[in-house]
Structure 1
Amino acid sequence: MNIHIIGAGSLGLLYAGKLAASGCRVTVWCRSVEQAGKLRGAGITIEETEGKLQNVDPNAFSVRSWDAFAESGAAADADYLFLMLKQQGIEEMAREVLAPFGHHRRNLICFQNGTGHLERLRELLPMWTIYAAITTEGAKRTSSSSVLHAGHGTTTIGKMMPAASFIGATSHEDHEIELVQELKRAGFEALLSNEMDEMIYRKLLMNAVINPLTALWRIPNGALLSSPERVGLMEQLYREGILVYEAAGIPYGNKLWEWIVSVCQSTSGNTSSMLKDVMDGRTTEVAWINGSIVQLGRKYGVSVPKHELITQLIEGMNL
């Protein structure tokens, strides 16, 4: 398959490197010309937690910078585009780079943590087919061309359509099945789902419980489970979120707490994206994660004081 990856952060490099190494035609779109040049020269290095290195030759994939998107054909040859930017970078990039081609047909898969961006992308890209992807892969970029694969997880992909469109739907299109097969060949555990709304809100609450606490305490994911006090605050954030979901009628499936704990364990050495942003002095995604739960709480009359405080504390770190 021909896959274009927009964003060369931790997940962008991980998926680009593994897909290119498995034989996919991969194009990586970088924000900066400098990073694009480094990737063209050095390729991508993926380090597994056990110390194994996978060096992906620069000739195995293509690299372009965003400013060349229009002149290079706007990814017209792509089977799929993976949008792997953080939430706070989507609006500007989509409006300036993608929206001029919104009336062309493309398949866009969005890998973001929060909520609200999918609706905006539908407005900007009316002819594009929008998918959501939920992944629990752990990744930490260690340089502009290298990434630590900090934990293995699952990647779930589904088309974003009105709920009524999925009534009785059990099959997927051939190209969607082929994509999952390509991801599996690259070493990812991947599957398709017709219940992405539920998956999105499961992932939202998982991130709202894990990410801000790791950022506040400057600890890896697994260290959240190291004391009763830390687990206790995780549980308080979890319970507030569940009260909001139940008031809003949002489905969240079974054993969500157990899943959150298992993600902490499977990505125990991982530095969360929010902690990385805080350490690097960047604006975090807390407004789209815990802030989304705060907004839902206000809409449905549910008090969420812990999420409100966490949002304020993390936003106070933003420079």
Structure 2
Amino acid sequence: MKIGIIGAGSVGLLFAAKLSASFPVTLYTKTKTQAKLLNDNGILLDGTKVKSASFHASSETIYEEDIQIVTVKQYQLEKIVGNLKRTTSRTVIFLQNGMSHISCMNELAHHRLYVGVVEHGALKINDYHVCHTGKGLTRLSAYHHNDDKNLKPLLVSKLAVFPFIYEEDWYEMLSKKLLVNICINPLTALFKVKNGGLLQNDYLYKLFETVFDEAFLALKLNNREFYWRHVHTICEKTSANTSSMLEDILHHRRTEVDAIVGYMLEKAKREGMPVPALRFLYFAIKGLEEEKGELT
């Protein structure tokens, strides 16, 4: 079984490093320069060159492998989805934050489609070096076509340090991750605090809970206490971390506010639900992006 990984950011590099130990992997990069660096140097994982079964980097958009794992950010999906429309049926796994990528997936009905949630931490050092900053697992769920022989080698593989598990309900799985992202990312980016700052400051904590309640109601989930405890626990466990959205703001990069908060605003609008805190956060983060000028 051959695996293609689309996107060579921190997550793409980490997945390529780990999966190429057991499977032939092609890592699709945005630039020829990065592809050449990867082919010349291999992937460095935590400073050590990865010993791979078969690894190749390419800036082409062939996407001919049995499984394609899409790791780019949501706002980079349009061109990739266009390319995937022209390929024959295969297994495609989307690993984006938020839930706005679901609408793009509806254009790819001839593929066997899956969504995933990555619970690993990864930090890109340069174009061929990545650090595995937090060990976790990857959750996968079928968007449709759940009887898929291509997925079984991943789920039963002996990658003890990089496990995959299957979830039955894709909506619940993504909603759970979205609640964490929407409660932590925008507030930490706006107030420029680490994750734990939301728990330590009484006023930020009130905002933290207000954002949770608006998002929870818009997602139409049950069992508020279960989801609130989950979000609170993740914030505690990552209290020393700088959120990805704050990192993006600090480094003048485009954030994923559209995929995370923008999606929720659209959903709340369809449901006829007022979400004033989320509306404020969305425009506040977009304002910070514009204030930073040209984004990378």
Taking structure 2 as the reference length, the TM-score comes to 0.88
Cα distance change, pair 54–214 in 1 and its aligned pair in 2 (3 A): farther
Asked if the contact 1:122–1:130 (Cα under 8 Å) also holds between the matched residues in 2, the reply is no
Identity of aligned residues (%): 32
Distance 2:287 2:138 in 1: 32
Cα distance change, pair 292–107 in 1 and its aligned pair in 2 (3 A): same
Cα distance change, pair 281–252 in 1 and its aligned pair in 2 (3 A): farther
1:232 aligns to 2:206 (yes or no) = yes
Output the amino acid matched with 1:18: K
1:313 aligns to 2:284 (yes or no) = yes
Output the amino acid matched with 1:5: I
Residue of 263, 267, 273 corresponding to 1:296? 267
Corresponding residue of 2:126: 143
Residue of 169, 191, 199 corresponding to 2:173? 199
Output the amino acid matched with 2:159: R
Distance 1:132 1:196 in 2: 7
Cα distance change, pair 276–115 in 1 and its aligned pair in 2 (3 A): same
Distance 1:176 1:185 in 2: 14
Residue of 70, 75, 85 corresponding to 1:88? 75
Cα distance change, pair 33–62 in 1 and its aligned pair in 2 (3 A): same
Output the amino acid matched with 2:97: N
Q: Which runs of 5+ in 2 are unaligned?
A: none
Asked if the contact 1:7–1:30 (Cα under 8 Å) also holds between the matched residues in 2, the reply is yes
- Equivalent residues in 2 for 1:1-319 (5 A)? 1-20=1-20, 22-47=21-46, 53-57=47-51, 60-65=54-59, 68-69=60-61, 74-76=62-64, 78-95=65-82, 97-101=83-87, 104-123=88-107, 125-161=108-144, 173-182=148-157, 185=159, 187-246=161-220, 250=221, 255-318=226-289, 319=293
1:187-241 Cα shifts (integer Å, max 9, x gaps): 1232112201111111112111111122223344344434333333211110111
| C-alpha RMSD of the superposition | 2.4
Distance 1:307 1:199 in 2: 21
Q: Which runs of 5+ in 1 are unaligned?
A: 48-52, 167-171
Output the amino acid matched with 2:101: H
- How much has 1:317 moved relative to structure 2? 2.0
Distance 2:222 2:78 in 1: 27
Asked if the contact 2:44–2:128 (Cα under 8 Å) also holds between the matched residues in 1, the reply is yes
Cα distance change, pair 148–268 in 1 and its aligned pair in 2 (3 A): farther
Output the amino acid matched with 2:112: T
Asked if the contact 1:3–1:82 (Cα under 8 Å) also holds between the matched residues in 2, the reply is yes
1:238-271 Cα shifts (integer Å, max 9, x gaps): 011112223xxx4678722222233334444544
Taking structure 1 as the reference length, the TM-score comes to 0.82
Output the amino acid matched with 2:17: G
Asked if the contact 2:6–2:71 (Cα under 8 Å) also holds between the matched residues in 1, the reply is yes
1:55-76 Cα shifts (integer Å, max 9, x gaps): 31588511000xx22xxxx232
Asked if the contact 2:8–2:29 (Cα under 8 Å) also holds between the matched residues in 1, the reply is yes
Asked if the contact 1:113–1:289 (Cα under 8 Å) also holds between the matched residues in 2, the reply is yes
Output the amino acid matched with 2:36: G
Distance 2:72 2:130 in 1: 16
Distance 2:200 2:6 in 1: 36
1:185 counterpart SS class: coil
1:92-149 Cα shifts (integer Å, max 9, x gaps): 3322x32222xx11110000112232232331x3311110001222222121122232
1:317 counterpart SS class: helix
Asked if the contact 1:138–1:270 (Cα under 8 Å) also holds between the matched residues in 2, the reply is no
Aligned length in residues: 290
Cα distance change, pair 158–270 in 1 and its aligned pair in 2 (3 A): same
